[in-house]
Every structure is written in structure tokens, then in C-alpha cells.
Structure 1
Amino acid sequence: MSAHILFENLCCELGLDAFPADRVTLTGADPVYPMPFRIGEAAAAVLALQGVMLDSLRVQQGMAPQQITVDYHSAAASTYAVAFQRQNGHNWQYNDPDYPTTDFYRTGDSRWIFLHGGYPKLRDGILDILNVPNNRSCIADAVMTWNAEYLESTLADAGLCGAVVLTFEEWQAHPQGRVVCAEPLIRLTKVSDSAPRSRLYGTEQTLQCLRVLDFTHVIAGPTATRGLAQMGADVLHISSPRRPRILPFDVDTNHGKRNAYLDLSVLADQQTAARLVSDGDVFVQSYRPEALGRYGLSVPEMVQLNPHLIAVNLNCYGHTGPWKNRPGFEQLAQTCTGMAMAQGENQRPQLGPTYPNDYLTGYLATLGVLMALERQSREGGAWQVDVSLCRTATWLQQQGLVDGWQKATGSDEEWIAACMATETGPFGELHYFNTALRLEKTPLRFTTPAMPLGAHLPEWLSR
């Protein structure tokens, strides 16, 4: 399969084959990284479709169409973008890599389970359930006393993160897997009957008319809003002053955004959030559905405030089915859908060397916003966009596996260098991966450098 075929199939799957794609140039084929999945081709196809939909908004206003180019090497590298970040010429320092509550462990019934304790609350909860200290050997011994599915459900009932390793065939037969396989890759739902909404798109940065409220964290959600910021949107990222963060990921996904704190347990901050929703255009969240609904930020409540809102939801396990409210991360999506077992060649499960589900799901969410904007201009209404890590992982595997992937060595430096940009701001000189999507007339770029969390007031820029 070539990137062109995957791109054409994706156009049909999303109902976008009516939009002209004759100016799209895709080059190359997988494998790029030592992974059995078509990471480069998939990322190139989604990014190219972003370009198609973004250009359709410009053309609606009489602007000239443009050439759209994506190379599979660069697209594959984009799924590991955070690793290329440099601060004042130095590699960014990550957290302790030896984090024993985030790894695969063998269970007493000879299965594998992946525990994810990547944040203190998750780590401490796992250790409490296992009744062990934070020691890899002790954790391994404790997990060996558990049945895999019972440990998985016990963790889920406690609001913690863990998933039993499945093959792709097992995932397709699993109750949650069956539901996810039936979900569209991007679910686009009209949720109000307001009149069509016209917008004045920019000649240099198309989405400069758009206000995006960003309630996301880690990679997939912030990647979605990062893409909108590159297209010119005013993105206001909201975080809690009390929530732990992973600084390298925050910095890499905050270029071009403003960052404010809100504590939604405080009534005044809830009211501020409601005002922002009322005056905004797009709301993007990557928490569990009930997390923000407790504070008046469910989709029905927000649509009452703003009948033209585009509300985007990203989660791990899908938006229907018995696992829809479970917390999860990239590694868990690889684990339960069969990717980890395929990466380990059906022996010991193994995670891939990039974060394909995180980045691709973020790209799909950005594409979903562009699709909703186009639909809104014709049909009006508020729109809901739903994407998930597990649906992305399922789609990747449905494209078939790549031959000879074990010999792949990663993207060449020249392909990475072509996508890099440099800025100077509060973090010094940052050298970072900008984008693999090349647009002839409106190149993607950030207008402001990455800023610390909480650096701005929770308010929109004047239009």
C-alpha cells in the first residue's frame, strides 16, 4: 500500500472524497521506524487531509487554492516530535526513565498486563492495591499473584490505569473492541439547529478568526490545539494550578498558545469558564466525560451557552461501550488493541519507538474541527467531534502490517531538519519540530513562543 492509496481510502471513509485533492503530493512508503504499522503513510494521509480541508475554507472565500505536500519520513518523525526538542542546544531532561509502575508485568494466569502509574496519584494507587513499595521486583512479585482481568478491573474500579495485553484478533472480539471497531474514525455529530455561520478566514493564517478553548493535557489533546494554533487560531490553554505536569510535553505542545489557570472547584472560575465558552468557537477537552461535566462543561450545557460551538472530545478507549469512562494513555491503547503484541512479534509485548496513537489522534481531532467548520458554514448548528486513541490504533492495524519493518532505522536527519523551527522566549532558545505539512501559500507557523502554564489571564484576545 502507498500513502496515496491510504489517503484515498481515508477520504472515502470520512466522506471527504468530494473535496478536490488534485493538489496533494505524497511521497514515500513505510517502514520508517522499526514498527510493523504504516505510521508514516497514516500520518501523511491525515495531515494532507488537514491541508485539503483548510484550503477548502479559503477557497470558499474566493482565495486561490494551494499545493499541499507531505513526505512520509517527516510524517513518521512527527509522531515522535517531542524527542527532537532542544533547549539552548541541549536535550530536554525527562523524568526518571526507571518508573516501575509504568511497565509490562506477567500475571499469575500467564498473561501480560501494562500498568500505567505515570503520575503520583496513579502510581500511589497502584502501589496501594498491590500493597508493595515502589520497587520493580516487588511489583513483579505482587502482580504474579493476580489474575490479569481481575487486576485490570480492580484498577479501573479505583480510577487507575492498567490494561491486559491482547492480540488484534482478541481486541476485535472483546466487548470494548467490538464497539470501537464499529465507531467511525472521526464521529461528527450535529447537536443544535442554529443558523449557518460564516467566518472571515485570513489570507496568511486561515484560522485567525477562530477562538479555541483548550482543556487538554499530555499529548493527543494538546497536539490537536497545537495544530489549530499553527493555522492562526487564538488558542487559550486552561490548566489547573494543582495538577502535576510533564514539562517537556507541555512546552512542545504550547507553542503559539496562551496559558491560563482555572480552578474549577471555585465558583468564580466556573463562571469564567462559562464566559469563555460563550464567547469562543471551539472547545477541546481530553479528560474523562464526567470530569468537566461536574462543572457545567458538558456538551449540552455548553451548547446552551453557545449554539455555534464546536466541541471536541478525545479519550483513550472510545466514546461508547463499557470502557468509555476509563482513564487511559497511549501505552494502554497500544496494549489492549494488539499493537504491543505485534510490536513484540507475538512473544513478549513491547511498545513502539514513537507515540503514533497520541499524535495521530491529535491530528484527527484537528481535522475534525476543520470538517465541522465546513459543515457549519453550510448546515449551521453546533457540532461535536469525537476521536479516541483506541479507534486510531484499530484503524492503524486495519491498514495491514508492513514487511521488513525490523530493519528500519528511523527517519533521516535531513527529513527531521526540514521540519524544525527555532524560537526565543521564556524557555530560552527552543529548537522544535514544527510540522510535516507543507502548504504553498499559508505555511503553518506559530506567532508566539511557548509560554509557562498560567502565564496569561483567562480571557480572549480582542477581535
Structure 2
Amino acid sequence: MTHSPMVAVWEELGGDPALLPRVSTVAREGALEARLPVRELARACVAACALAAAELGARRAGLPEVPAVRVDDGAVATAFVSERHLQIDGRAPVSFAPLSRFWRTADGWVRTHANYPHHRARLLAALGLADDATVADVDGLFAERSAAEVEETVYGAGGLAVALRTAKEWAAHEQGIAVAGRPLIERERVGTARVRVLPPLDGDPLLPAAGVRVLDLTRVIAGPVATRTLALLGADVLRVDAPRLPEDPDAHADTGFGKRSTTLDLATDRSTFERLLATADVVVTGYRPGALDRYGLSPEALAERKPGLIVAQLSAWGAYGPWGERRGFDSLVQVATGIAATEGSPDQPGALPAQALDHGTGYLLAAAVLRALTERSEQGDGRVVRLALARTAAWLTDGIEQDEAGPVERDEAAPVERQRAQDLAYHRPDAWLAERDSGIGRLRYALPPVSFAGGPADWARPPGPWGTDSARWA
């Protein structure tokens, strides 16, 4: 990050720079400490989302000025590890399965992801191991193979394993080159169409996305964080999952706030989905590029079938380049792009203090949708927006190629990001945690970090059991 993150993000969103002074920051030392400027990335992503929400809310409510946005590093740092703070009836969830970890290979390191049963099965099948294989069994096989061999073998079998690379190595990689050549936030205007006009707002709190209908076809942190944020802001968010791919209950509990959840087999019940799509304002997809195309759910097909629709596509590696159709998760993107080598070393990889690529990209995705809704209200046409975890990683690691091991110099000179409140330290997350009852138990959870004057402070509803809601709008 070689210049003001907030200014850069707001520019990529197409926002009016005159609104930037509406943002103030409470800076807290100790929040999201890392070699890389994680705190600055997190702060900018949340601030941009909050400012986009305040802008849309002011427009719909007819306010004379955009409400002031206040970003607190404590709230941001707590929310960026919301999955770690979650408790269900006093029980803390398990974030990573035993086979989701770093492994030493004959010439370096790989990291695998096997939290879902089908990913675990594919990993073991690629290695020729039985379903009851242990960590020691896998460890022994990896130690005999090169990292590149493991990566290609496991991906070839539909599993997930990524070799550790330095930032220099990723910058020279064909996918790294493809990612670096793209904007952080890709925005495309699609056609011109008459769209459903959203009614004016007059409620308290101010809910900028009230009345907006969002179809949520996402999984695992980034996409669900985006739609969880839209739900906070008043959107009617309906998450749709295939019945044969149940979500991890703890992941659903963390990111299901404010939403309803249903299951739908698109192979046998397209009519129900098309009925939902007919009155949707936004569709958010988070599956690997191409995975939904056979159902007519590519961004292009959706935009053509439903003029005026806002389509937000999230991917791990970007929908282009040789890895464009590969699966991926935050932890794997950190390993490929040089982040793990920078936070640790090539000999002993480390990790960011949060799954910041997931959370940061989630807030950017929500911000892009909110800005698209504002632009649609002015111009009456649809939008396609695309973000990728690997592109967010490129933004975070900008400038580290020359010094892999040392701390990255931060640029905090932008006036919009100067703290306007007393400088405080971040010691404990208690001030940004809450508890409430739900249909899945007593929840302790992180409060939303998106905050503006007159806006919501918490979600209107807790998550319910996964997949138990009707496939209809509220």
C-alpha cells in the first residue's frame, strides 16, 4: 500500500471524493498487528462500506448531507476475527479441520484446506490414502514429494493444496501477473433498463438497503460477510444452498446474522429460483468461476435475463488466468501470494492475524453493491462487480517484493484517515461483543464494524438453523 488505502478504495468504487471528509477514525495500537499493513486495509474496507451505506441512505432519505462515518479500530479488529469470537451455548467453534494446515514437503511447504468432507475426501484420494488416514499418514507422503507436485496432484483431483511462494515468485507466476493487471474492484455497467424503484426511507435507524432483495449464493466468509453486511443495512437477504452441500453449522452461525437460509436444487427446481430472480435487485455469487454457468447463473447470463440486476461475483484467484477456475480460500491465497512467507519466512511460514483477505474483500463487495445501488438510482441500469481474494492480496502486498522479511513501511498521511479522537490501545474485544438468544442457541458474537450516524448498531435478527426457511421473499 503505497498511498492512502481509503482514498484508493473510494476512487475504485467511483465515489465522490468530496465525501471523504465525512469519515473519521478511532485508531487503536495493538489492533491487527502484522508485518503487512493489515490494520490499514481493514480500516479502509470497513470505512468505504460505511461511507457507501451512508451515501445511499442519505439519497433515499432525502437528507441534506451524508451522515458522518466513524470507524473504530477496535470494532474492526474484533469483526475481522468474528469466527474466533463466536460461541454457541458457551462452545467455541473449531475453525480448521486436522487436515487443513501447513505441511513440510521435500523442498518447501504446502498448505491444504479440507474443512468440508468432500474436500477432505478429494485430498486423500489424490494421495492414494484411505478415508481413515491420519495426519501422520499425510505428513509422511508430503515429506517425500515436492511442493509443486503436491499442488498439481491435489488440484487435479479437485482438492485444495497450494505451494508456498514468496512475493517475488508470485509476481513472476502467470496467475500473479494476470491478477496484478486487474483493478481491485472491477465494475461494469450493463445495459439500460427500467428497474424497480426503491421507496424513500424515513425509519430509525436509517437502513440504506431497506427493501433491497438479495439472493446470496456464497459460502465461507468473504461472500457471507458481504451479504451479512447488506442484511445489517436492511436488505432482505435469502441465502440459497444446494441441499447436497450442507454448510458448516458454526460458519453459518457466524455469518448468518440478518439473513434467511433455504436450500434449492437448481438441477431440478429452476422455476423456484427464476421466480425469486424475477424480483431480485442483487445476486451475489461466491462459487469458483464457471461453477454456476451450467445453471445460467454466470454474471453475463443473469444480467441478460434480468435487466437492471446488480450481480456481484467473488472468487479466490480471479475469473481469468490459468488459475481462473480453481477453488481457493483465504489461507491458501496467503500462501500463494507471498503473504505467508512475509509474515513468517520461506523456511517457516506465518499467517495474517485474521483471515483479512476474506473479511476485507467481503466489506469491499458490500461497498461495491451499495455504490451500484446508488448509481442505479441515478442511471437506471444494472451493474456487474467482481472482486478476488488474490487481488485484495496484491493490494495488501504492494511494495513488499524488495524486502520479503522486513516490516512494510506504512503511509498514514492521508487527512481522511487521521484519527479525530483520543488514541487508545486495543487490549480486549469485550466492548464489541454481544450476546443474544437464537434458534440455534445462546450466541456470543462480534458486533458489526460498519457504523454511521443514525445507522443500525446490530442485526435485526440472529441466524436460524441452516436451510430451514422457505424459498420466498420476506
Secondary structure, in 3 states, of the residue corresponding to 1:137?
helix
Question: Structure 2 vs 1, CA of residues 31 and 449 (structure 1 numbering), >3 Å: closer, same or farther?
Answer: closer
- Given that residues 56 and 371 in structure 2 are in contact (C-alpha distance below 8 angstroms), is that contact kept between their aligned partners in structure 1? no
Q: What corresponds to 1:362 in structure 2? A: 362
Q: Offset of 1:7 from its aligned partner?
A: 1.7
Secondary structure, in 3 states, of the residue corresponding to 1:398?
coil
Q: What corresponds to 2:441 in structure 1? A: 428
Q: What corresponds to 1:160 in structure 2? A: 159
Letter in 2 for 1:254: G
- Given that residues 8 and 17 in structure 1 are in contact (C-alpha distance below 8 angstroms), is that contact kept between their aligned partners in structure 2? no
Q: What corresponds to 2:117 in structure 1? A: 120
Q: Aligned match of 2:105 in 104, 107, 116? A: 107
Q: Which moved more, 1:192-201 or 1:238-247?
A: 192-201
- Given that residues 87 and 430 in structure 1 are in contact (C-alpha distance below 8 angstroms), is that contact kept between their aligned partners in structure 2? yes
* 1:84-233 matched pairs, under 5 angstroms: 84-88=85-89, 90-94=90-94, 99=98, 101-108=99-106, 110-133=107-130, 134-195=133-194, 198-203=197-202, 204-233=206-235
Separation (CA, whole Å) in 1 of partners of 2:363 and 2:344: 26
Letter in 2 for 1:8: V
Secondary structure, in 3 states, of the residue corresponding to 1:432?
strand
Q: What corresponds to 1:301 in structure 2? A: 301
Q: What corresponds to 2:75 in structure 1? A: 74
Q: Offset of 1:19 from its aligned partner?
A: 4.3
- Given that residues 202 and 209 in structure 1 are in contact (C-alpha distance below 8 angstroms), is that contact kept between their aligned partners in structure 2? no
Following TM superposition, the consecutive aligned residue runs of length 4 or more in structure 1 with deviations greater than 3 angstroms are: 12-15, 195-198, 399-404
Question: Structure 2 vs 1, CA of residues 262 and 19 (structure 1 numbering), >3 Å: closer, same or farther?
Answer: farther
- Given that residues 86 and 93 in structure 2 are in contact (C-alpha distance below 8 angstroms), is that contact kept between their aligned partners in structure 1? no
Separation (CA, whole Å) in 1 of partners of 2:301 and 2:8: 36
Q: What corresponds to 1:407 in structure 2? A: none
Deviation sequence 1:93-141 (CA, Å, 0-9, x none): 427x561x32222333x12211222222211221122123422222122
Uncovered stretches (5+) of structure 1, i.e. residues with no partner: 405-409
Uncovered stretches (5+) of structure 2, i.e. residues with no partner: 401-406, 411-424
Q: Offset of 1:184 from its aligned partner?
A: 0.9
- Given that residues 57 and 201 in structure 1 are in contact (C-alpha distance below 8 angstroms), is that contact kept between their aligned partners in structure 2? no
Letter in 1 for 2:110: I
* Percent of aligned pairs with the same amino acid: 32
Secondary structure, in 3 states, of the residue corresponding to 1:20?
helix
- Given that residues 31 and 37 in structure 1 are in contact (C-alpha distance below 8 angstroms), is that contact kept between their aligned partners in structure 2? no
Secondary structure, in 3 states, of the residue corresponding to 1:442?
coil
1:442 lines up with 2:441 in the alignment: no
Q: What corresponds to 1:417 in structure 2? A: 430
- Given that residues 14 and 186 in structure 1 are in contact (C-alpha distance below 8 angstroms), is that contact kept between their aligned partners in structure 2? yes
Letter in 2 for 1:180: V
Question: Structure 2 vs 1, CA of residues 52 and 235 (structure 1 numbering), >3 Å: closer, same or farther?
Answer: same
Secondary structure, in 3 states, of the residue corresponding to 1:235?
strand
TM superposition score normalised by structure 1: 0.90
Deviation sequence 1:137-162 (CA, Å, 0-9, x none): 22122123333223322222222211
Deviation sequence 1:5-55 (CA, Å, 0-9, x none): 332233334443534122211132665234212222211111111122222
Q: What corresponds to 2:419 in structure 1? A: none
Secondary structure, in 3 states, of the residue corresponding to 2:10?
helix
Separation (CA, whole Å) in 2 of partners of 1:300 and 1:120: 31
Deviation sequence 1:36-88 (CA, Å, 0-9, x none): 12222211111111122222223334224322101223212221011112234
Separation (CA, whole Å) in 2 of partners of 1:87 and 1:150: 40
Separation (CA, whole Å) in 2 of partners of 1:440 and 1:67: 5
Question: Structure 2 vs 1, CA of residues 209 and 290 (structure 1 numbering), >3 Å: closer, same or farther?
Answer: same
Deviation sequence 1:408-438 (CA, Å, 0-9, x none): xx9422xx23322332221232221121222
- Given that residues 127 and 154 in structure 2 are in contact (C-alpha distance below 8 angstroms), is that contact kept between their aligned partners in structure 1? no
Q: Offset of 1:390 from its aligned partner?
A: 0.9
Q: Which moved more, 1:330-339 or 1:79-88?
A: 79-88
Q: What corresponds to 1:255 in structure 2? A: 257
* 1:267-416 matched pairs, under 5 angstroms: 269-398=269-398, 401-402=407-408, 411-413=426-428, 416=429
Let me know the Cα RMSD of the aligned residues.
Answer: 2.3
Separation (CA, whole Å) in 2 of partners of 1:94 and 1:115: 16
- Given that residues 227 and 363 in structure 1 are in contact (C-alpha distance below 8 angstroms), is that contact kept between their aligned partners in structure 2? yes
Paired positions, count? 447
Separation (CA, whole Å) in 2 of partners of 1:73 and 1:194: 42
